[in-house]
Amino acid sequence: MASSAKSSIAPSDLESFTSHLHSSKHILALLGAGLSASSGLPTFRGAGGLWRSHNAISLATPEAFTTDPALVWQFYSYRRHMALRARPNRAHYALAELARRKEGFLTLSQNVDGLSQRANHPRDKLHLLHGSLFDVRCTSFYCNYAEQDVFTDPIVPALAIPKEGAQPAPSATDKTGAEATKSLYSAMKQSNTTDSAAPSSPSEELDISDESIPIPDITLQDLPHCPKCTSGLLRPGVVWFGEMLPSDTVNAIDDFITNAPKIDLILVIGTSAKVYPAAGYVDHARKKGARVAVINMDRGDAKGLMKGDWFFEGDAGVFVPEILRSVIGEIGEAER
């Protein structure tokens, strides 16, 4: 992969970028959905923006959670499950290693999928603009409980993804119920034997994003509850539409940019950075002297770059480890 990426990069671009990277003391990285796509994860809005018959955006609001917390938790439990089936790619590991090698390096991620955390990116150098699917906090007004990186799947048993299994066969002739009972017990025995023999494979899981697949009704009592106050309902630790970005995250980023005598470089990876606040961070970095390096599949994202900037067109999972290799070394399969 590295040789393929290298052959696609103009030698003069790689040489000038590498030279600037080595001399850079303060570096920002802005991550977007294109980085997650390299791990096989779809972007948030997906095909048509629907989850079952629901607009995905309509489920990502405080109002939706108040109205139907069970449905919202089923949506987010599904997203958690899919994210855990994906693996951090080489770019995640490369950025984590750069954070360990460069003291003045800070990563701002718009992704909520937990892949950077699972690549062991140092948490003090990773700021999540939109929160994380794997963070939770209590919704009770009087409780301040919050927890990061809860990778348990499912987070509670009621939110387990339904699986295919043996089904009882109704009898066409017996009207006493004896045959149906026998069939039911046979199906249960077969299911238990299958479960005990080996873990269920993803192919046995039902795709609950398809509205034709029934999902169980879940009571409020079966949803995740706060272990501290015991009565409050937990919610996913993502920033929903209509909510403010986390103030501690925003303040930490602002302090980093303000207090640095100069920002030498900003890496824009897997995002167009045309929507605020992401676009604002690129502007702020520029005002502090930063040169911009964009790594993305879309050539249209090269618009707005200035003389002295770089655009590396291609898969972030392949290109990022290559352009950082002179500082971090080789990121191989063993990292994964």
Residues with a catalytic annotation lie at 130
**CA-CA distance, 67 to 82, in Å (whole number)?**
25
Q: Are strands 265-269 and 27-31 parallel, antiparallel or unpaired?
A: parallel
Question: What tokens does 256 get?
Answer: 């980093």
**CA-CA distance, 116 to 118, in Å (whole number)?**
5
CA 181 to each of CA 168, 184, 193, 194: distance values in angstroms, whole numbers, following the listed order: 8, 5, 18, 20
Neighbours of 117 (CB within 10 A): 21
**CA-CA distance, 138 to 228, in Å (whole number)?**
9
19 burial via Cβ count (<10 Å: 0-12, 13-18, 19+)? exposed
Question: What tokens does 107 get?
Answer: 């990563």
**CA-CA distance, 230 to 133, in Å (whole number)?**
21
**Neighbouring residues of 67: CB distance < 8 A, sequence distance ≥ 6:** none
**Rg of the Cα atoms in the chain:** 24
Cβ 161 vs Cβ 81: under 8 Å:
yes
Beta-carbon-side half-sphere exposure of residue 268 (alpha carbons within 13 Å): 31
**CA-CA distance, 39 to 317, in Å (whole number)?**
8
